[in-house]
Structure formats: structure tokens, C-alpha cells
Amino acid sequence: MGKGITSSSIGVLLRECDLNVTHIKIDPYLNIDAGVLSPYEHGEVFVLDDGGEVDLDLGNYERFSQVRLTRDHNLTTGKVYQQTIQKERKGDFLGKTVQLVPHVTDAIQQWIERVAQIPVSQVGSSSPDVCVIELGGTVGDIESMVFLEALRQFRYRVGSDNFCHVHVSLVPTVGAGDGEQKSKPTQHGVRELRAAGLQPDIIICRSAKPLNRATTAKISMFCMVPATHVLSIHDVSNLYKVPLLMLEQRVASLILNCLKINCMPPQDLPVWQRLSDKVENPRDTVTIGIVGKYTGLTDSYLSVTKALFHAAIHCNLKLKIEWIDSSRLEDEHAVKASDEHKAAWSALKSVDGILVPGGFGDRGISGKIAAAKYARTNEIPYLGICLGMQVAVIEYARNVLKLEGANSSEFHPETGHPVIVFMPEISTTHMGATMRLGSRATDVKSGTLAWQLYGEQTIQARHRHRYEVNPDFVERFEEAGLHFSGKDADKGVRMEIIELDSDVHRFFFGAQYHPEYTSSPFKPSPPFRGFVKAAGKQFSRHPYPSPASSPFNSPARDDEDASPPASKKAKV
């Protein structure tokens, strides 16, 4: 449906009104968080600075609105029920019968009010003026009903001047060509909302093409919403046009009027316009091969693809992604499906750069190791993230150090050369929120590729892993030419970054952390930016003597790369 992009775009518009904006995503599932959900079930797991494993929509909020959210900004049914049951066990309800109404609905409202006050701006520490809440799922879902009831009560309690309800609905087209736009799904959705006690103030219609007047009039009449409040968010050539499209239809003005906020909406969005234009007019094309095991659902690697896209925009390149199932690169697969095996290798050999993202489990590991070897021996730009770094270490151990059978204890606990080992402090009995999570500091060695990319001696990056490079093998790797140019800033015993010398490989880089989580269209992640530059033949290696002299640490050279202006406190 695009509720996440819609919410993010609303955040952009309100931010441009000089308001401090925050976001909350409500997910009605019973999981406490997204940490143990399969990527095939729910897309990628996004990790925040505080280690929260959350829904991927929070990544959209951070990238669009330039905010830094917390784990509490993702509210799930599991969190609310857990909190309510814990209070019941402590006797906080004083013997009352605990029910969905009022106890759970009260807990939801209290959560929203508390979290909405948390400062999230990257500039300053002012409390937010507006909180954009996205309720996941579909109207009529059983698991969403308690949240709809909580929001109904919330609107009544705080007053309509403090609550603006935007309903996002699908308007399908039936028939070939222009076809007929059908308003029935929207009518039924709004009827369900009204039965739950909620009346939308604005209806945003998702459609392939702009709404025609007849459809707008019909939705307005049957849903009891003014025609000026029925908006068309149709398909566009790139998602950075969505805030521009919403601005054209006065979304900011409608919301400000609804909330009785006295400030001027923006006349235009020049930074977003330039960003959109830059996407539309690339100078050349770069093809990146993503070698993973969740390639059947591209949302499984959403932040990775977004980070690649951000880097490509900066380099004036059109990004083409070649999805390669790592299991099809394995020799074992060649016996069962030779055509698929040949096609996978043909695709790998056709790309300009190879990226192996994070993941868990041993399926497709041999294929990822083979991809890392191909990139290393053929001087193809390589970027390994988390598991992608670990497979590069395993490959180097086997083929350069000649450690036969070298492996990770995750895949082969009995290996005689455990170059990747389980972190000692991690739980072996529970999976949820037990990894090394969140933002951690890494010290970067001077004169290295990492130094050139970041231009900083100490960097902050988000982690999500249980296994790490075995410190017992580090010296042997260094002597053989695989350098650990980044180590944890606490004790310096955890290997965070690997790379090869410039005279060996033009770009071979691995990170134990996840640089994709902090990338944005206005500030691409340094490893991704360097990787895409190398793949597009725009990158050269230089051992810069100081962080400040790195071009990757220099200010934006033109308005196209500048971030949106920091928001100011609004006059309400």
C-alpha cells in the first residue's frame, strides 16, 4: 500500500513547516519485536541506535525525516500485552478484572503520549511538536481492533484539534489501458472505520494513475469527506517524488488546519526536487550483484538496496541490481540444476561489484564464500556486511592461509580452524534481543581504506550479530595480507573492518557492523559510497594522512548533496 512512504512523506512536509516531528509505528502482531521474524515473513529487521530490532518502516522514517528513533517508537501487541500482564502480576490493578478495555487501551494511549515526547531530532534536543503514527495491517483485522479502539478513545480525550486521521486506501483499476477506477474498497474500508468509531479527516488514495473527478466525487460523497481532502498518490517514477506530489495537493495545509497549528506550509521543496531530478538524469549505469539467500523477497534487504541507491544518486549513476541466490552458486547445486547454476555464475560474472549482505544459518554459505573468492581473485569491487565480512574471512583462511576446513563455528562447530566464533557473552538459550545490538564505537586505523572512506578516527555504527572473528587468528591474517583496519573502541579485541592493500585489490572491504542502517539520500553511507564509486570506476585509493583530508569527510560540494535544513521550534 505504501503507508510507510506516506507517513514518511508527511513527516517531511511537517518538518519543512519548521516543526519538530517524531514517528511511531504500531504493528499488531504478538511478537515483542521484529528480531526473530523471518525476512520472508515481514521483510528486513531494522536496527536502531539503542539496539531495538524494529519494523522496516522505521528505517523509512529515519531516512526521510532525518531523525534517530528508539525501540519504543515501534509498538507491538506483544509489548502492550507484556507490559499489562507484568503490571497485573505486580498487583498494580488492585484486584480489578484486567480487560482489553480499559486496561490495554489505556496502556496504548499512555505509551503513545510518553514516546511522543522523546526528542528524536539529530540537531538539538527539543521535544517534538507533531507525532506521526502509522497503524499497520488492514482495517477489519482482528489484531488491529484494540488499537483502533485505543485511537478512538484517544481522539475523544485529546480533542479533534489535536488529532488528524489520514486513511490510506487502494483504488484499483479494472480493465486494460486507462480502465475504470473502483472506489468500493475505499468505501468499505471507511465504513469499517466508522463502525469502529473513527472518521477520517483525509483520504489518501493509492492508485496506478491520478484519480479522475468522478472517482474523487464518489469517494467524497460515500465516505463523508470533502472532495478537497480526497487525495491521489499515484505511481511515480521514483519515491522522492512522493513528498512533492503530496505538497502539490496541499497535504501540509490540510494537516496544519486540522491540528490548528499556526505556521506557513512550504511553497516548494527544492532539496527534494533536486534529489528527484538527479535520480531521473544519471550519467551512466552501474550493476551490483547482491548474493544472498532471501532474494525471493527484495524487502529482506531493503536498507541495503536503499544505501546502494543513495550512493548511486551521489555518483550520478543509475543503479541496476542483479539478485543472485547464493545456493545456486554452490557446486552441489550444479548437479541438481545445472541451468540455474550456470545462470547464477553468469550473472555473478556480469556485474560491476559484488555485495554479500548479512544473514543467519548455513544455507547458501558455500555460494557466498565462492562469490567472495571470485571478487578477490578477479579484483571485482567487494563489499561484505556482517556475514558478508565473515565469509570473506573464511575464504581467505582456506585459500590464502591454506587452513583446510576453516569455517565458522556457526556452520561447523567441530572445525579445526574456527576463524569465526560465537561471542562469549551471548545467550545460547534465547534468540530475541540477545545479539550484539545497536550503535557501538569503532576505531579506524590511519592510512587505510576505511580511513579514506570515513575520514574519522572513531566512528559509530549499528551492529546485529552473534559471531565474530576469532582473535587467535588475527596475527596470521595480518601477516598474509588481510588487514583489520577497524577494531572496537572499548578494548580493541573485536575485529570490525577488513580490507586488502591497494596494490592487491582496488576495493575489497568488509564490515562486521551494518553501515546501511544509517545511510540516507542526503548522506550516503561511506562504505556504500566508496563501493559504488569503485564499481562505477570513479574511485581511487589514497592513504590520506589525516581524517580531515579525506574527500568522504568533506562538506557537501553543492546544494544537491546538502541535507534539508534543521527544523526550528514552531509557533503554535
Q: Could you give the residue numbers annotated as active site?
A: 386, 514, 516
Alpha-carbon distance of 202 to 179, in angstroms, equals: 25
Under 8 Å between Cβ of 482 and 382: no
Residues 446, 451, 456: CA angle, nearest 5 degrees: 95
Please state the φ and ψ torsions of residue 523, each to the nearest 5 degrees: -145, 85
Alpha-carbon distance of 232 to 250, in angstroms, equals: 11
Q: What distance, in Å, lies between the first and last C-alpha atoms of the chain?
A: 32
Buried b (16+ CB within 10 A) or exposed e, 421-450: bbeeeeeeeeeeeebbbbbbebbbbeebbb
Please state the φ and ψ torsions of residue 495, each to the nearest 5 degrees: -85, 120
Under 8 Å between Cβ of 465 and 512: yes
> Quick one: CA torsion of 74, 77, 82, 85, rounded to 10 degrees?
140
Task: Give me 214's grid cell.
Answer: 468522478
Neighbours of 495 (CB within 10 A): 24
Q: What share of the chain is helix, strand, coil (3-state, %, to 5)?
A: 40, 20, 40
Neighbours of 370 (CB within 10 A): 20
Bridge partner list, 486 = 444, 497
Alpha-carbon distance of 218 to 407, in angstroms, equals: 63
Bridge partner list, 287 = 320
Under 8 Å between Cβ of 328 and 343: yes
Residues 380, 381, 382: CA angle, nearest 5 degrees: 105
Bridge partner list, 290 = 323, 355
Write down how long the chain is.
572
CA 549 to each of CA 354, 362, 451, 500: distance values in angstroms, whole numbers, following the listed order: 28, 42, 10, 21
- Residue bearing cell 514516546: 115
3-state secondary structure 21-62: EEEEEEECCCCCCCCCCCHHHHCCCEECCCCCEECCHHHHHH
Query: Sign of dihedral through CA atoms 21, 26, 32, 33?
Result: negative
Alpha-carbon distance of 356 to 393, in angstroms, equals: 13
Under 8 Å between Cβ of 31 and 45: no
Q: Which of 123, 109, 63, 130 is nearest to 305 (CA)?
A: 63
Which pairing describes strands 508-511 and 467-469: parallel, antiparallel, or unpaired? unpaired
Alpha-carbon distance of 313 to 278, in angstroms, equals: 7
Alpha-carbon distance of 147 to 162, in angstroms, equals: 18
